Structure formats: C-alpha cells, structure tokens
Structure 1
Amino acid sequence: MSYITPQELKSYSEFEAVKERSDDSLSLDIIEAESDLESTLRQPISEVLDVDEKLPEKLRIALLKLAQFFALINSDDSIQKGYTSEKMSDYSYTIGSGDSLKKPDISGLINGFINEDVQKLKKGLFRMRGI
C-alpha cells in the first residue's frame, strides 16, 4: 500500500517530466521513495502513522519530495549523468557540468519521527588512552 498516489505526485510537482510520466512509472518511483524514507527513519512508515492511520503531513511532504526526485532521476538519462540542456525556439545548448540532481534535504521534516533508539545509537562516546 502506497501512502501517496501518482495523481497526488503530479499535482504536487511543477516539473513537466514528472507530470508527463505514466502512473505505473510514478508508482515505482513512489515505492523507491518510501523505501528511502524508511531507511532514513530506520523504521517502517506504518509505525509512525497517526492514530487514525493517516500519514502525518510532514512525512507526506517528505515523501512527495523524494518521489519527485526519483521520478526526475528515472525519467531522463541526461539528469543521471549531470547534463543540462535547454532549447529556445531553434537554439539549443547542452552543458555537462558533472553535477547531477541532488536528493532533497528532508531532515527538517522528519526529525521528530526518527526512532529515538536510533538517535541514541548515533551519539557515541569515543575514549582513547595511551599504552
């Protein structure tokens, strides 16, 4: 069960590449985004649902941002390779900048949902002593 629909993703996105993508392809992008979000949260999304089994709004936005990112990456090989191109009337240019599209920073949206046990594990104590 996906927490967002391809139609919601199309409504959210301003990118034509996302809006023109098929619903089947967007469904796969959403699955990728859900997997990435669960990896970041270090727990299944189902464990952070509201009382009424609804996805909290901040997580919904984070999921939409990630799904849009994966839709853009999966829709065009040139984005994956870091090419930038633009066409204006009969003039076009392409730049290979070496940079690719970067994953959106969703840390501010998901901070309150990360498992506290996992956060404690990230805070380590390192001691050294001489021999």
Structure 2
Amino acid sequence: MLITPSDLKSYTDFEAIKERADDKLEKDILEAEVEIEGIVGHDFSESQYNPLPEKAKLALLKMAQFFALINSDESIVKGYKSEKIGDYSYTLADGNSIRKPDVLSLLKGYIKDVPPPSNEGTIRMRLRSL
C-alpha cells in the first residue's frame, strides 16, 4: 500500500473515518489506489516514485477519504436523497451516487501517455458532405 490507515486518519477531519476499523480503511485505500492507477495509467511502484510524491499522496488521500466516507455511510444504502457529514454534504438523485473528488490537477504530471492503437487491420472511411 502507498498510504496507511494511520496516514488517512491523520489527514481527515471526519470522525466517521477516524473511528473506522483499519482493515476496512485498507480496503478503502485499495479502492483509491485502483482509481488513481486508472487515471495515471500506471501504479507508483517504480523506483522514481520512492518516496511517493506529495501531490500523488494528496490525491490518494483525497480518493481514499471519499471511498471511506461512502463505504461507511449507511444512508446511501437506505436510499436517502441528501445527507450531511460534518461540512461534507451530498445529494443522491434517483440511484445516482456522489461524485469522486477531482484529483486530475494533482496527478497531471504523472499521467503516462498511452500509445495510440495500431491501424493495422482496420477499415478507414472518408466521408464528405454533398
């Protein structure tokens, strides 16, 4: 793991997260790591990321906090339309869930370019208006 439950507990101001069991926080952190890997296109296990850069760590903490909040909030399961946890509030509308934190600006320097797919074996069409 890139961050620990104690890192997350020291970062957050939410009592619900501070009181959450470490084994559950580890699962929340794992969800956050998978989400961050999806954004940047790699994991941070390479030696150039040891220690983990502060911007990436902050993005991971924010994402882990989000997952810990939604995983510990039973009002989402009960189908409440709105809820407030401290200063953090959200509204659910007909089965939609709350939005994840926007961490793209923190991670933009770590996004790896994915090579474009090969055009070999594909059909290419040109269209023009008449």
Same fold (TM over 0.5): yes
Structure 2 partner of 1:32: 31
Residues 42, 17 of structure 1: CA spacing in aligned structure 2 closer, same or farther, 3 A cutoff?
A: same
Larger helix proportion of the pair: 1
TM-score w.r.t. the length of structure 2 is: 0.74
- Secondary structure of 1:101 counterpart: coil
Q: 2:81 aligns with which of 83, 100, 113?
A: 83
Structure 1 partner of 2:64: 67
Structure 1 partner of 2:127: 129
Structure 1 partner of 2:10: 11
TM-score w.r.t. the length of structure 1 is: 0.74
> Cα RMSD over matched residues?
2.8
Structure 1 partner of 2:105: 108
Q: 1:58 aligns with which of 55, 59, 80?
A: 55
Query: Partners in 1 of 2:65 and 2:51 — Cα distance?
Result: 21
Give the superposition deviation at 1:101: 2.5
| Identity across matched positions, percent | 46
Amino acid at match of 1:130: R
Give the superposition deviation at 1:31: 0.6
Any gaps of 5 or more consecutive residues in structure 2?
Answer: 85-90, 117-124
Give the superposition deviation at 1:42: 1.1
Please tell me whether the aligned partners of residues 82 and 100 of structure 1 are also in contact (alpha carbons under 8 angstroms).
no
Structure 2 partner of 1:90: none
Structure 1 partner of 2:22: 23
Query: Partners in 2 of 1:64 and 1:40 — Cα distance?
Result: 15
Amino acid at match of 1:20: E
Residues 49, 66 of structure 1: CA spacing in aligned structure 2 closer, same or farther, 3 A cutoff?
A: farther
Please tell me whether the aligned partners of residues 17 and 72 of structure 1 are also in contact (alpha carbons under 8 angstroms).
yes
Give the superposition deviation at 1:70: 0.4
Give the superposition deviation at 1:100: 3.7
- Secondary structure of 1:46 counterpart: coil
Query: Partners in 1 of 2:46 and 2:80 — Cα distance?
Result: 36
Larger relative contact order (CA 8 Å, sep ≥ 6): 2
Any gaps of 5 or more consecutive residues in structure 1?
Answer: 87-95, 122-126
